[in-house]
Amino acid sequence: MTDIRASVSGGIFEYPAEVILSRANRPIVALDIDGTLGDYHKHFLWFAELWFGRPFPPPDEVNPGLRLSTFMGIPHRDYRECKLAYRQSGLKRAMPCYPYASELTRNIRKSGADVWICTSRPYLRLDNIDPDTREWLRRNGIQYDGLIWESIPDGDQTCGKYNDLVNQVGLSRIVAVVDDLPEQTADAERLGILNIYVRDQPYNREPHVRGDRITDLSTLWECLEQDISQWRNK
């Protein structure tokens, strides 16, 4: 069976050639990683305390829509340096995975839908991002059929992982997207994606945040199961 590798706006997805044709009309569920499948916020703040040598607000403290650097009480320049160090450290491989993440992706695929991982991680800017991400997915039993990374802005070209997803697979195939960041769920709504779920986090509880709020991945699966069934009925 011949393998095909294709670029997805800075990311890579892999399919056997024979599978591409058979998957052309399958429904798709898009899942974010950091803050959705894995506990990034808690893990990063733990690293930041070690890196700066000082305590920061606990990860479960409600952040009323503030920039994380503002919430932490540090200059944004220092925050960016710390975030770069975190990404370079390889610790993303050890980020805690939320319960039921593996079962969620297995159930989605058993239902006849494809799982596309859509992440804001900057694949083309650090060599270790791709292997660290794929190893985290492997360690935690996360099944997936496609992987989209953060786009690199190109002039006035519209960027964004969900814009890339729509361009790659078509709007009609996207059953739902799941994310934790308000700007991402707003972007999904702008693109016309109908079923949008926001993973409840202390930093996204503003009333204007788009998406149906879910607090755990097993409940999410109950919602997605209905969405996939409705998609098929249409």
Contacts of 207 (CB under 8 A, 6+ apart): none
Residue 4 has pLDDT above 60, yes or no: no
Calpha distance 136→8 (Å, rounded): 20
| pLDDT at 15 (0 to 100) | 45
Calpha distance 234→195 (Å, rounded): 15
| pLDDT at 65 (0 to 100) | 81
| pLDDT at 158 (0 to 100) | 57
> Helices marked H in 89-216 — which ranges?
101-110, 129-139, 161-169, 182-191
What single letter denotes the amino acid at residue 139?
Answer: R
For residue range 110-133, list pLDDT tens digits in order.
Answer: 999 999 999 998 866 778 999 999
| pLDDT at 226 (0 to 100) | 98
| pLDDT at 137 (0 to 100) | 98
Which residues, listed in sequence order, are joined to residue 97 by a DSSP beta bridge?
38
Structure tokens at 130: 């791709």
Residue 20 has pLDDT above 90, yes or no: no
Name the pTM for this structure.
Answer: 0.87
How many other CB atoms are found less than 10 A from the CB of residue 54? 11
Q: What Cα–Cα distance (Å) separates residue 94 from each residue in 24, 42, 120, 134, 138?
A: 34, 12, 18, 12, 12
Residue 46 has pLDDT above 70, yes or no: yes
Calpha distance 176→227 (Å, rounded): 8
Structural domains of the chain, with CATH: 3-38+98-233 (3.40.50.1000), 41-93 (no CATH)
